[in-house]
């Protein structure tokens, strides 16, 4: 064993991008079917909210429109 000799460290890098992409597609991104189901639920909830606000305003004799713009 020689004294004073420096040891070099080797850094190894792994490319995990394919595994990460696969995980993202399978576990994170919703399927088209699930996305469409959520969109339909959103539309239904917006419709129910608007109808409920209209009903509330008519019961309270209010003429004010909803100040919040809700897109369908």
Confidence of residue 72 (pLDDT cuts 50, 70, 90): low
Indicate whether 64 pLDDT > 70. Answer: no
**Cβ-contact 65, 50 below 8 angstroms:** no
- For residues 48 and 70, the answer to whether their CB atoms sit within 8 Å is no
Of 16-20, 29-33, 38-42, 54-58, the range with the lowest mean pLDDT is 54-58
Q: Pick from 28, 31, 12: which is nearest to 20 by CA? A: 28
Give the model's pLDDT for residue 68: 55
Do residues 66 and 52 touch, judged by C-beta distance below 8 A?
no
Section 6-34 average pLDDT: 93
Question: CA-based Rg of the chain, rounded to a whole angstrom?
Answer: 29
């Amino acid at each position: 064993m020689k004294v004073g000799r420096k040891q070099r460290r080797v850094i190894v890098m792994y490319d995990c991008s394919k595994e990460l992409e696969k995980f993202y597609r399978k576990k994170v991104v919703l399927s088209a079917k699930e996305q469409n189901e959520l969109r339909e639920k959103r539309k239904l909830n917006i419709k129910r909210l608007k109808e409920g606000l209209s009903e509330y305003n008519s019961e309270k004799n209010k003429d004010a429109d909803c100040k919040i713009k809700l897109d369908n």
